[in-house]
């Protein structure tokens, strides 16, 4: 079934938001995940689904284990719904101009805290000059929700290294990240180039990428292989948290070079070269193909490419 053949009885009375809800449910197979992707409460989503079920005189989804599986009618409607939503987005892109000097749009993006520390200061400085009414909103990283949020438009783009994202998500390379260690200035045992034995003998704080889908997990595994489990005194979810611990203890925090450079200056830390093999990570900006030609999305991506590309 395509957009031209959707029954006329379905066309009247349908709300665009209802179609967006059905579209997300067909992707997520879960009320909980769909509610997160749409940024609505689960009770509100359940009411919309009940209204859709009455409208189409079909259950649309049935519970099978922990999943909400679509009925035959829901699957038959899927192509039509995607087509309608794509055309609406195309109309918006073609007829709504974007002027950064006057726009008051809020752009939402997802990035680990290392990215926030590296990106936000120069980005906000640029926006205050070139787009003073544009606002930014950073959203906590959630690997399960990242692609659905990009597809739904709740996220305009994401920054980082997420190799598991599908081909529906476009990407642009920005820079390659390497790793260094940070310790408190005047550390009693470690110089700028510690030996392997000295590095292993110290206590370490690890930044954990568990559940984020970020490629930092490869650096985490390399550190776990290089030092004894008893030497890992703490695991934290944020790079800045690891740096603060390093400042106030003798522990070593291994961080991406770009954030380590900023935090070493701001927190008066010393940068050391870990005597172990650590991966490099290619950093990209990501956006869904649905919004590839949307003028505002194109503009904010160009800003990121100009400010941070190939550094």
Q: Give the E-state strand segments of the chain in sequence order.
A: 61-64, 67-70, 106-110, 135-139, 157-160, 169-177, 179-184, 204-207, 232-236, 252-256, 269-272, 281-288
Tens digit of each residue's pLDDT (9 = 90 or more) over 78-134? 888 888 887 776 666 555 678 999 999 999 998 887 778 888 999 999 999 999 999
Where are the domain boundaries for CATH 1.10.10.10 in the chain? 3-95
pLDDT at 95: 57
pLDDT at 271: 97
Contact 152, 38 (CB under 8 A): yes
Question: In degrees, to the nearest 5, what angle opens at C-alpha 25 toward C-alphas 20 and 28?
Answer: 125
193-224: buried (b, 16+ CB within 10 Å) or exposed (e) per residue?
ebeeeebeebbbbbbebeebbbbbbebbebbe
Tell me the sheet residues that pair with 177: 281
CATH superfamily of 106-176+285-308: Periplasmic binding protein-like II (3.40.190.10)
Looking at domain 3-95, which of 3.40.50.1950, 3.30.70.600, 1.10.10.10, 3.40.640.10 is its CATH number? 1.10.10.10
Contact 199, 274 (CB under 8 A): yes
pLDDT at 231: 95
Contact 254, 219 (CB under 8 A): yes
CATH class held by domain 179-279: alpha beta
DSSP state of 169: E
pLDDT at 84: 84
pLDDT at 192: 95
Helices then strands, each counted (H, E), the chain? 12, 12
Pick from 280, 308, 310, 309: which is nearest to 180 by CA?
A: 280
Where are the domain boundaries for CATH 3.40.190.10 in the chain? 106-176+285-308, 179-279
pLDDT at 139: 85
pLDDT at 78: 87
Q: Residues of the chain whose pLDDT is less than 70?
A: 1-13, 89-96, 211, 311
């Amino acid at each position: 079934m395509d957009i031209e053949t959707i029954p006329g009885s379905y066309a009247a009375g349908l709300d665009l938001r209802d179609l967006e809800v059905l579209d997300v449910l067909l992707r997520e197979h879960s009320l909980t995940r769909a509610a997160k992707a749409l940024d609505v409460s689960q009770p509100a989503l359940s009411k919309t689904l009940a209204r859709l079920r009455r409208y189409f005189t079909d259950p649309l989804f049935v519970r099978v284990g922990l999943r909400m599986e679509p009925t035959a009618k829901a699957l038959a409607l899927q192509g039509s719904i995607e087509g309608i939503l794509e055309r609406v987005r195309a109309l918006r892109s073609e007829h709504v101009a974007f002027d950064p000097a006057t726009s008051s749009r809020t752009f939402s993006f997802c990035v680990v805290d290392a990215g926030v520390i590296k990106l936000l200061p120069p980005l906000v400085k640029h926006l205050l000059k070139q787009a003073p009414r544009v606002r930014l909103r950073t959203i906590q990283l959630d690997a399960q929700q990242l692609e659905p949020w990009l597809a739904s438009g709740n996220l305009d783009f994401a920054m980082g290294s997420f190799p598991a994202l599908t081909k529906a998500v476009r990407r642009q390379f920005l820079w390659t990240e390497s790793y260094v260690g940070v310790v408190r200035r005047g550390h009693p045992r470690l110089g700028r180039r510690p030996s392997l034995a000295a590095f292993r003998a110290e206590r370490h704080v690890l930044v954990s990428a568990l559940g984020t889908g970020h490629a930092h997990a490869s650096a985490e595994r390399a550190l776990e292989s290089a030092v004894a489990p008893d030497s890992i005194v703490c695991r934290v979810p944020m790079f800045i948290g690891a740096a603060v611990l390093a400042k106030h203890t003798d522990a070593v925090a291994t961080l991406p070079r770009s954030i380590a450079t900023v935090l070493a200056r701001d927190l008066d830390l010393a940068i050391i070269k870990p005597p172990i093999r650590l991966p490099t990570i290619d950093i990209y900006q990501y956006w869904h193909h649905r919004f590839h030609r949307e003028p505002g999305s194109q503009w904010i991506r160009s800003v990121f490419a100009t400010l941070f590309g190939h550094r």
